[in-house]
Amino acid sequence: YRATVLLLDQAGGANRQYLLSFRDQTEAHRLERMRSDFIANASHELRTPLASLSGFIETLRGPARNDEAARDNFLEIMQKQAERMARLIDDLLSLSRIEMKAHIAVKDQVDLTTVLNHVADSLKPLATNLGVEIERHIEPGPVSVLGDRDELTQVFQNLIENACKYGQSGKKIIVELKRAGESIKASVQDFGPGIPDEHIPRLTERFYRVSLETSRAQKGTGLGLAIVKHILTRHRARLVVRSKVGEGSSFTVMFEPQKLERT
């Protein structure tokens, strides 16, 4: 705790008034540490592709100057690194935009059937590319919640994209939307390798990745589920993760009853 003593008036003698206040510093310190850890991690994540770019530029200007085959190969790698930096920056900007809106209540009626169908349609090419079929079990709409359409679109985009990326090629993924009593459940299930238990509580941490190799190969930044968590907090919705190694994973978004508007 930090104690502050404030002199309230200039009157001298025994009538002088003071204000004594205490402030809990542990929470402030924790937040401050989280913020500086985040900046350190973000800088490191951006520095890695940047260092690789600098290295290739140097090689192209020097030893590989006249090596045409090497040049094509290096330029391709450089383009991938630049794309990776762009993805990181996009995700960082998304996080900061969402944080800025965290205290503004969501107020629009958003029909989840439209959002899920739209996202499933838009991710079909990626799914096909990865050999995954998206199966839909979506209630006939509308199934509305109070929310922010763009943010909810981003939630399901991240979850369905993850299911495609980390699911099993040749198997399907299931996108489901249903009413469960007064709640609404929207879930994305895959039949991929699953996630070992010890990683599950940490999945929504910024930059947390279960396997760096798989995530890198799948163009991951480790920010997708952190973005999902922030958006869902603003919507007072919960994310429930179930996973079994060797069987697959499901990510379920539960919308609270008081947020519903039955239509």
Q: Which of 95, 225, 231, 237 binds ligand ADP (CB under 6 A)?
A: 225
Rounded to whole angstroms, the Cα distance separating 143 from 171 reads: 28
Query: Taking the complex as a whole, how short is the minimal distance between the CB of residue 218 and ligand ADP, in angstroms?
Result: 6
Distance of CA 107 to the CA centre of its chain: 22
Cα dihedral 66, 55, 79, 214 sign:
positive
Q: Which range binds ligand ADP by CB under 6 A, 15-23, 61-69, 149-157, 207-215?
A: 207-215
Residue 243 in contact with residue 174, Cβ under 8 Å?
A: no
Query: Taking the complex as a whole, how short is the minimal distance between the CB of residue 164 and ligand ADP, in angstroms?
Result: 9
Query: Taking the complex as a whole, how short is the minimal distance between the CB of residue 126 and ligand ADP, in angstroms?
Result: 13
Residue 231 in contact with residue 151, Cβ under 8 Å?
A: yes
Q: Does 144 interact with ligand ADP (rule: CB under 6 A)?
A: no
Rounded to whole angstroms, the Cα distance separating 173 from 175 reads: 7
Rounded to whole angstroms, the Cα distance separating 108 from 151 reads: 11
User: Is residue 49 reached through a cis peptide bond, with omega within 30 degrees of 0 on the bond before it?
Assistant: no
Q: Which range binds ligand ADP by CB under 6 A, 9-17, 58-66, 143-151, 203-211?
A: 203-211
Query: Taking the complex as a whole, how short is the minimal distance between the CB of residue 89 and ligand ADP, in angstroms?
Result: 14
| CA count, 13 A, side-chain hemisphere, 246 | 0
Q: Does 215 interact with ligand ADP (rule: CB under 6 A)?
A: yes
Query: Taking the complex as a whole, how short is the minimal distance between the CB of residue 185 and ligand ADP, in angstroms?
Result: 17
Q: Does 158 interact with ligand ADP (rule: CB under 6 A)?
A: yes
Q: Which residue's Cβ has the minimum distance to ligand ADP? A: 220
3-state secondary structure of 81: helix
92 or 210: whose CB is closer to ligand ADP?
210
| CA count, 13 A, side-chain hemisphere, 36 | 5
Query: Taking the complex as a whole, how short is the minimal distance between the CB of residue 250 and ligand ADP, in angstroms?
Result: 8
Rounded to whole angstroms, the Cα distance separating 263 from 257 reads: 13
Instruction: Please list the residues that pair with 146 across neighbouring strands.
Output: 109
Residue 166 in contact with residue 194, Cβ under 8 Å?
A: no
Q: Does 221 interact with ligand ADP (rule: CB under 6 A)?
A: yes
Q: Does 190 interact with ligand ADP (rule: CB under 6 A)?
A: yes
Q: Does 189 interact with ligand ADP (rule: CB under 6 A)?
A: no
Q: Does 120 interact with ligand ADP (rule: CB under 6 A)?
A: no
101 or 199: whose CB is closer to ligand ADP?
199
155 or 184: whose CB is closer to ligand ADP?
155
